[in-house]
Structure 1
Amino acid sequence: MNRLLLVLEGVGMALEAIRGNKVRAALTIAGVAIGVFVVVAMGAVVNGIKASFQKDLEEIGATTFIVQRRGSGISACDGTDEKCPDRRNPPITIGEWEMIRRLPGVQEVVGTQGGQGNFAYRNSRVDNVGYDAYSVEWPAVNASDIAPGRNFTRSEENSGQPVVLVNDTLKAQLFGDSEPIGKQITISGRQFTVVGVYTPRAGFLRSLEGRGPETPRAIVPLTTAIRTLDAFRGSLTLFVRPAATATQSEVMDEVLAAMRARRGLKPGDRNDFYLVEQDRIMDTFNQLFGAIFAVGLALSAVALLVGGVGVVAIMMISVTERTREIGVRKALGATAGTIRWQFLVEAATLTSIGALIGLAIGALLAWVIRSNTSIPAELPTSIVVTALLASAVTGVAFGMLPAVKASNLDPVEALRYE
Structure 2
Amino acid sequence: MAVERVPASLGGATSHGRLLELIRSTGGLSRQQLLAATGMSRATLYERLESLLRRGYIYEAESLEATGGRRSRKIRFDDRGRVVLTIALGQTHATVSVTNTRGKTLRSLTSSQAIGGQAQSVLMPLVEAGKRLLAQGTGEVLIGVGVSVPTPVEAETGYVAHATTIPDWPRDAVARAISEAWEVPFVVENDARAAALGERVSDDETIVYVKVGTGIGCGIVVEGTILRGARGAAGDIGHIRMAEDGPLCRCGRHGCLAAYSSGRAIADRLGGPGPDPLQAISDAARAGDPVVEPIVEAAAGVLGRALSATITTLNPDRLVIGGIIGAVPAYVEQVRSTVMATVVERIADGLAIEAGDPGDQSASRGLVTLVMRKVFSPAAIDAVANEAVLA
**Superposition TM-score, scaled by structure 1 size:** 0.22
The structure whose residues are more often helix, as a share, is 1
**Superposition TM-score, scaled by structure 2 size:** 0.23
Q: Which has the higher contact order (CA 8 A, sep 6+)?
A: 1
Query: Computing the radius of gyration over CA atoms, which structure comes out larger, 1 or 2?
Result: 1
